[in-house]
Amino acid sequence: MYLKRKIDSYLIEWKEKNERLPLIISGCRQIGKTESIRHFAASNYESIIEINFILEPKYKAIIEDGYKSEDIIRNITFLDTSKRIVKGRTLIFFDELQEFPEISTSFKSFAMNKDVDVIASGSLLGINYKRIESVSVGYKDDYEMRSMDFEEFLWANGYDESLTDKMLSHMIELEPFSAMYFERLKQLFLYYIILGGMPAVVSAFISKQSFEGSLELQRQLIKDFREDITKYADGMDQARILNVFNHIPIQLAKDNKKFQISKLGSSAKFSDYRGCVEWLANAGIVNVCYALNFPELPLKGNYDETKFKLYVADTGLLIAMLDDEAQEDLRANRNLGIYKGALYENIVGEALRKCDYNLYYYKKDNSTLEEDFFIRSTENLIPVEVKATNGYSKSLKTLIDSKHYPDIRYGFKLTGGNIGYANRIYTFPYFCAFLIKRYIKETKRKRPDLD
């Protein structure tokens, strides 16, 4: 069963370009890159040449005569005579590019070859990206793929774009959802939080219409991530990277949720672990949320790289990392309040990151003023508060009302409740988080205060 993904429309747009460049699709393991590329290729090409550099290492020899596309094509067809080139109707798909980044040197030549199209993909490409970029800059397109967001999860469950349009319309009109819609969306979102967006887990849930085996699948994926760390973290302390990864649930359980390197060991220092955090982020395994020095624009350069929170890039995997007692509480009692709201923050941070927002938070020294996330529109800095209950938001109100923060004119509050508005605070249910960017764009003309 193929699960519809947002990359599907991007690939069609890429195919329709008159001047197509080789396309690199990056992202962590098991998020559906290969499946999506194969699905697209089957409908758009007569001949598909797929080369997996892990399963077929012999193809690393195709560059022995150089990096010209015609030499590489000749060597591919020499190694396997069943692979054929149909001019203008052939896709060469280089999979597991992280195993053989040298092939990216050929992309300049392939960019000028109109006989074939090229897509390359692989897990953990972020850790080799500088190397790939240096030899193919200007001769490739890039697409970063992540696990399924809530909209894609709704598609998998049989809903189409009309439901998303209806949700966005309610947000724009500030019209609360009816009890029926609200409860159904809330239930689906709970399923999504527990399952996460890894396609294998979602597909099994859709097929069985139950959670049977989902935790085992998730824990296997976590095991695979740990194995990747030991395999690909060349030149680094693999034990330190694993230590950071394993401590994420523990540190999110704290009241302030700030990740503290000092908690990793008696002599742990930021300088020793900085590269570990970058490695996990570049691998697409974690989302890093940096502390702002001050809540103002521009954001670039206005944060402290030594102060951050770490979220797992897929909330379902974070839940699978919890201890057995927390698992039982969550699954039996639907108690998402465990870990002091960490799951709510993780799922909202995940949604914002999948909207291509970078993540920032703010905590004022010697004060109770703090905010979970900040995003920006063209002209405004927008605080985003995540509340376990639809209660009073003292910090959010202070940031909006105080003259000390002129870049902030309004804010968003994401809760377990329905849509609302008061005192320049727009309240939306958690399950609307994936629509925040579209909401800002669509309301720009109707409400100038939102830009």
Is 96:123 a contact under the CB 8 Å cutoff?
Answer: yes
Is 427:415 a contact under the CB 8 Å cutoff?
Answer: yes
pLDDT in tens, 227-281: 888 887 766 688 899 999 999 999 998 888 899 998 998 888 888 888 899 999 9
337 Cβ contact partners less than 8 Å away, ≥ 6 residues apart: 388
Instruction: Indicate the residue type of 205.
Output: F
Task: Print burial letters for 143-179: b (CB count within 10 Å at least 16), e (below 16).
Answer: bebbbbbbbbbbbbeebeeebbeebbebbbeeeebee
Residue in this structure with the two tokens 């597991």, named with its chain if needed: 96
Parallel/antiparallel/unpaired status of strands 373-376 and 381-386: antiparallel
Cβ atoms within 10 Å of 2's Cβ, excluding its own: 13
pLDDT in tens, 129-165: 566 666 677 889 999 999 999 999 999 999 999 999 9
154 Cβ contact partners less than 8 Å away, ≥ 6 residues apart: 163, 164, 188
Tokens for 96, please give them: 């597991």
Parallel/antiparallel/unpaired status of strands 116-122 and 23-26: parallel
pLDDT in tens, 279-337: 999 889 999 999 999 999 999 889 999 999 999 999 999 999 988 777 777 777 666 66
Tell me what the mean pLDDT of segment 67-95 comes to: 96
DSSP secondary structure string, 162-217? HHHHHHHHHHHHT-PPPHHHHHHHHHHHHHHHHH-S-HHHHHHHHHHTS-TTHHHH
pLDDT in tens, 11-55: 999 999 999 999 999 999 899 999 999 999 999 999 999 999 999
Cβ atoms within 10 Å of 17's Cβ, excluding its own: 10
DSSP secondary structure string, 268-284? --HHHHHHHHHHHHHTT
Inter-CA distances, 286 with 54, 62, 281, 313, 317, Å: 24, 35, 5, 5, 11
